[in-house]
Structure 1
Amino acid sequence: MSAAAGFQPGGEPDEGGALRTVDELAAAAGLTVRTTRYYASLGLLPPPARRGRMAWYDDNHLARLEMIRALQDHGFTLQAIEKYLASLPADAGVEDLAVQRAMLTSWTVGEPVELTRRQLDQHAGRRLTDDEVALIEEFGLLRRVADERGVTRFVPVHGFDVAVELLQVDIPVAGMRAAGEAIEKHMSALAEELTSVLHHEVVEPWRRERSHSQHSREDAAQLENTIGTLRRLTLEAIVRGFQRSANKVITRSLDRG
C-alpha cells in the first residue's frame, strides 16, 4: 500500500499535537477501534510512533481518518480512497488535510446510513419492489455498498424520500427520467462552475497567503467553517434562483398567451 508513503515506521508524530492511543484515536474520529485498525492495515494511515510496546497517534492520523470519512460520504471505495491519499504530498500537514477535507465535505445534511433491505423498506415507510429500488438507484438517490464481510447494504442519498413519494404519483417513468436528466444536466454544470469559483476565489488565495506566513490550525478550522457557511448560502441561493426563474417562465408564457 502506498498511502503512507513518506512516513517512516516508528517515527515521531508530526505537527507536535496531542498523542492518542488507538482507542482514543478511534473515539476522536467517531469510529470503532476495529475499523480504525482495518484502515491502518490497508495502509490508509501512516505508521504510529512506537514507544516501548505502545503505539501513539497524532493529529495527522486523526486528520487522515476524517479525510477517509469525507471520501466515504461521497461513495468512494477503499481502493479509490487509497489512490486519492497516495496522490497527496507525503508531507501534507493537518492544515493541508483540513482544506482538502473542506472541499470534499458532502453538501448533504446528516451522516450516511447503511441499511439492510428490510431497514430500507422501513426507512421508505412501505415495502419497495425490486424494480422501484432499481429505479431509485438509477436516479442516483440510492447506492449499494458491501461491508467488511461482503454483505450488501443500501445507502439512501439526500432526496431518497422525495423519490419514494414521487413513485406513488401517477406520472410515467419516462417523464421522471426526462426530468431527472434535465436536473442532472444543469445542476452538474452549475456545481462545476461554483466549485471552480470556490477553489480560485477562496481556497487558492488562502494557500497563497500561507506561502508567506504560516497558518495555524485555527486558521484552517476557520476556513473550513467559512466554506461550510458558503455551502449553506449557495444552496439557499440556488433554490431561490430557481423559483425566480420558474416565475419568469410563467410570466413569459402568460404574456405570449
Structure 2
Amino acid sequence: MDSYRIDDLARMADTTVRNVRAFQERGLLPPPRMKGRTGYYDDSHLARIRVIGNLQERGFTLASIGEMLSAWESGHNLADVLGVERVLTEPWSGEEPEYLSISEVVEIFVPGLVEDDFAGKSPELFPMLARAEELGFIRWAGDRFEVPSPRLFRVGVELHAAGVPLSSIYDIAGELRADCATIADRFVALAVKQADLEDPSQLAARADLPEIAKLIARLRPLGMEAIQGMLAQELHARIQAAFSDRIETFLDLLPKEVPLTPKDPGPS
C-alpha cells in the first residue's frame, strides 16, 4: 500500500493540508502511521478524504459527514448510507428549469415598464418581481431569470391572462405554499413513525437502511397521487356547490312569469 506525507495526500485529494488536519481534529480521518516525527498516510486515508469532499460538495456539514462515516465504520455498506442520503436530497420534481429574458419577465410581472428602465437595477427594486421571486416563480440569474418550476410558472401566467390580478395570484400562491407544507409534514410524520425514526440518533445503528431508503422513495409518488386525487374531488364538489348556489339565486331573481310578445299576425 502506498504511503503519503500530508502535503502529498492533500495534493492527490485536491484539498489543502489545513483541511486534512481539520478532518483529523474532528475525528473524520484516522491518524497517520508515525515514523519518527513524520506521519504517513495510505490509500484508505485518500479514499476517505475524497468521500468527505464529495459529501461537502452536496451540502453536508462536517457533523453530518461524521455521522455517516460512523455508520460506515459500524458495519454499514457506505452505499446503503448514501442511499438514504440520496433519496433525501435528490429533487422530487423531474422538471428542468427554464430561462426567460428580462423583457419577457418584465412584460408579465411589471406591465408598462420599459426594459431600458430595468437596466442595471436589482429586481428587488420592483415589488412585483421581488414577490414573484419570494414565492419561487422566478429566480434572478444575473442577466436573465431562471424559472425553477415551469409548470408552476405557467399556472400563474394562465391565471393572469384570465384576468386575475397579480396581487391575488401571489396571495393564493402563498396560502397554497403554506397548505402544501402542512400536508408534506403529515406525510413525513407518517414515514418517520412507520420507519421508527423518532430518535434520529439511532439511524446510524440501523441494519435496515436499504428498506428505509425504499420507504422514503415510495413516499414521493404515493403522496403526490393522494393529493391529486383528493384535490380533484374537493375542487369538483366545492365548485359545483358554489356555482350551483349562485345559479339558483340568479334563477330565483328572474320574473316568475315572462309575458310572451304576441306574434305579428301579418297582413290579413
Structure 1: which 5+ residue stretches go unaligned?
Answer: 13-48, 72-80, 114-118, 146-150
Q: Which among 65, 73, 90 is matched to residue 105 of structure 1? A: 90
Counterpart residue type for residue 61 of structure 2: E
Query: TM-score, normalised on structure 1?
Result: 0.54
Counterpart residue type for residue 181 of structure 2: S
Cα distance change on mapping 1:167 and 1:138 into 2, 3 Å: farther
Secondary structure in 1 matching 2:197: helix
Aligned-residue identity in percent? 17
Counterpart residue type for residue 6 of structure 1: G
Q: Which among 94, 99, 104 is matched to residue 120 of structure 1? A: 99
Q: Aligned residue for 1:134?
A: 130
Q: In structure 1, what is the Cα distance between the partners aligned to 2:162 and 2:23?
A: 48
Q: Aligned residue for 2:61?
A: 82
Cα distance, 1:176 vs structure 2: 0.7
Cα distance change on mapping 1:177 and 1:87 into 2, 3 Å: farther
**Matches for 1:1-257 after TM superposition, within 5 Å:** 5-8=26-29, 50-51=42-43, 56-57=46-47, 61=51, 65=54, 68-69=57-58, 71=59, 81-82=60-61, 85=64, 88=67, 91-93=70-72, 94=78, 95-110=80-95, 120-121=99-100, 127-129=104-106, 130=123, 131=126, 133-144=129-140, 155-158=146-149, 159-202=152-195, 204=197, 214-215=207-208, 220=210, 223-253=212-242, 254=244, 257=248
Q: Aligned residue for 1:43?
A: none
Cα distance change on mapping 1:204 and 1:210 into 2, 3 Å: same
* Superposed CA offset, 1:152-183 (max 9, x none): 88653222344455454432122112211221
Bigger Rg, which one: 2
Q: In structure 2, what is the Cα distance between the partners aligned to 1:153 and 1:11?
A: 50
For these two proteins, the number of residue pairs brought into alignment is 190
Q: In structure 2, what is the Cα distance between the partners aligned to 1:165 and 1:177?
A: 13
Cα distance change on mapping 1:104 and 1:245 into 2, 3 Å: same
